Structure 1
Amino acid sequence: MKAVGFKTSLPIASPNSFIDFEIEKPTPKGHELLVKINAIAVNPVDYKIRQNSAKDTELAEPKIIGWDACGIIEAIGNEVSLFKVGDEVYYAGDITKAGCNAEYQVIDERIVGKKPKSLSNEAAAAMPLATLTAWEILFDRIRISTEKDKGKTLLIIAGAGGVGSIAIQLAKKIAGLKVIATASRPESIEWCKHMGADVVVNHKNLTEEVRNAGLQYVDFIVDFVDANAYWDEMVELIKPQGHIASITGSATPIALNKLKTKSASFSWEFMYTRSSFQTEDMIEQHHILNKVADLIDEGVLVHTLTQTLDGLSAETLKLAHEQLESGTTIGKLAIKL
């Protein structure tokens, strides 16, 4: 089968930052599904892994990355019980295994969901990783209740990106929160409003902007861009006994002691925790993806796809990564195989 990967971490402009190659089609075992991939999407985690996983070395075999896909099941392992051959599925994969930048992939059924019937393959491929991340940070990490927390305030730092786009919708339409999202360009501001944000503020003057919007404090804050860069402002803006959560890694320690006087909480969210550690509740991602598929088909949630490229090739992946590395992507970018 055809695949795209890399043997060493190179700048995306390098001729060999991605390479096309052939590899044997995998065989599913146990809980695994063999999926013929119809579309994939790209995420910041893709280029971060490409940039860092093969520094100053050359891998013996090309590394296949990519963690958002939509396709059709071609074969199943002997322990599969959730799906059958011919089912259309979407998923975000497992960061400890080969990714989806290939014609076929084996994937554990417990982290796979049924494809939303109303979406194209490309739009469906754009949803899983961002959706799971947003759902988990709101409902598993902060543990927002759709009953007792309705009407409370949530500040989303980086509202126009892939995760922010779906987090706005979940917070507004499912949890019933008042959503304040950050954006600075006219097009990203408009996108956040389109997704359902009640208020859009400029992250360049975050505290001042939030206060000018009439909010002294907010109940919850989620960071999707840089925890350390915004830490002091998050500490200032979080309500006493509130909760901050972040998906961004930190090169230097986070000053958690600054939350002490407010008795505020902090959580990390890493969407691959469940699959990486084979947690007891790993199947929750299957349930979340199915719930979201229903919500999309019912018209409650909308997809976040804004750009589509054609064809699985090194050149197409280069274009996709260049776009993500620019830091200007609104919504999600997908590739039709």
Structure 2
Amino acid sequence: MKAIGFKTSLPISEPESFIEFETPTPQPTGRDLLVKIKAISVNPVDFKIRQNSAKDTVLPEPKIIGWDAAGVVEAVGKEVSLFKPGDEVYYAGDLTRSGTNAEYQLIDERIVGRKPTTLNEAESASMPLTVLTAWEILFDRLRISADKDSGKSILMIGGAGGVGSIAIQLAKKLAHLKVIATASRPETQEWCKSLGADVVISHQNLVENVRAAGFKEVDFILDFVDINGYWDAIAELIKPQGHIASITGSSVPLALNKLKNKSVTFSWEFMYTRSMFQTDDMIQQHNILSTVAKLLDDGTLKTTLNKTIIGFTVENLKEAHRLQESGKTIGKTVILY
């Protein structure tokens, strides 16, 4: 099968930052599905791993990365019970296994959902990683529910990116929260409003802008950009007994003591935790994707696809990575095979 990968970490401008090669088509065993991939989307995790996983070394075999795909089940392992050959599926993959940048991929059925019937392959491929991240951060980490939290305020730092674009919709449509999103450009501000944000502000002078919008403090804060860069503002803006969650990670310790007197809760969200550690509730990602497919099909949620590139080629994959590295993308970028 055709695949695209890399043997060393190079700037995307370098000719061999990605290379095309042939590799045997894998065969499914156990709970694995063999999926013929129809479309993939590119996320920040893609370029971060490309930049860092083979620094100062040359791998003996090209590394295939990529997370987010839509495709068709080609074959199944003996223990598979949720899918059969011919099923159309979408999923976000597993950080510990070979990725989506290939014609075929093995994927555990417990982290796969049936593709939304009303969406095409490109629209479907744009959703899994970001919707799983957004769902988990809202409902598994913050444990928000419409019954107890309807009308409360939530600040999302980085509202126009892939995760923010779906988190705004989930927070509004399912949890009925008052959503404050940050966006710096007119086009990103308009994008956030179109998705349901009640208030859109600039991330610069965050404390002043939140308060100018009428919020002295907020019940929940989600960081999708830079937890260290906004930490002091976040600590000041969170309500006593509020909850903060972040997806961005930190290379230095966070000053959690700033939250002590307010008895504030802090959580990390990492979408790959369930698959990486084979957690007992790993199948929850199948359940989330199944629920989201219904919400997309009935129009409650809408796809966050914003750009489609046609053709699974080295140059197209490089272009998708260039767009992600620019930090200026709105919504999701997809490559349609």
Mapping 1:252-291, distance limit 5 Å: 252-291=252-291
Runs of 4+ in 1 over 3 A off after TM superposition: none
Shift of 1:57: 0.1
Shift of 1:311: 1.2
Cα separation, 2, equivalents of 1:315 and 1:214 = 47
In structure 2, the residue matched to 1:176 is: 176
In structure 2, the residue matched to 1:303 is: 303
Shift of 1:235: 0.3
Shift of 1:166: 0.1
Q: Does 1:142 align with 2:139?
A: no
Shift of 1:314: 1.2
Shift of 1:79: 0.2
Shift of 1:249: 1.4
Shift of 1:252: 1.1
Matched AA of 2:74: E
Q: What's the secondary structure of 1:261's corresponding residue?
A: coil
Shift of 1:234: 0.3
Shift of 1:251: 1.3
Cα separation, 1, equivalents of 2:257 and 2:12 = 39
Matched AA of 2:67: W
Q: Deviations over 1:155-189 (max 9, x none)?
A: 00000000000000000000110000000100000
Matched AA of 2:26: P
Q: What's the secondary structure of 1:267's corresponding residue?
A: strand
Mapping 1:4-43, distance limit 5 Å: 4-43=4-43
Q: What's the secondary structure of 1:148's corresponding residue?
A: helix
Mapping 1:14-163, distance limit 5 Å: 14-163=14-163
Cα separation, 1, equivalents of 2:103 and 2:325 = 25
Shift of 1:246: 0.1
In structure 2, the residue matched to 1:204 is: 204
Calculate the TM-score normalised by the size of structure 2: 1.00
List gaps (5 residues or longer) in structure 1.
none
List gaps (5 residues or longer) in structure 2.
none
Cα separation, 1, equivalents of 2:26 and 2:150 = 46
Cα separation, 2, equivalents of 1:93 and 1:325 = 21
Calculate the TM-score normalised by the size of structure 1: 1.00
Cα separation, 1, equivalents of 2:102 and 2:66 = 9
In structure 2, the residue matched to 1:2 is: 2
Q: Deviations over 1:202-238 (max 9, x none)?
A: 0011110000000000000000010000000000000
Shift of 1:114: 0.5
Shift of 1:145: 1.5
Matched AA of 1:268: W
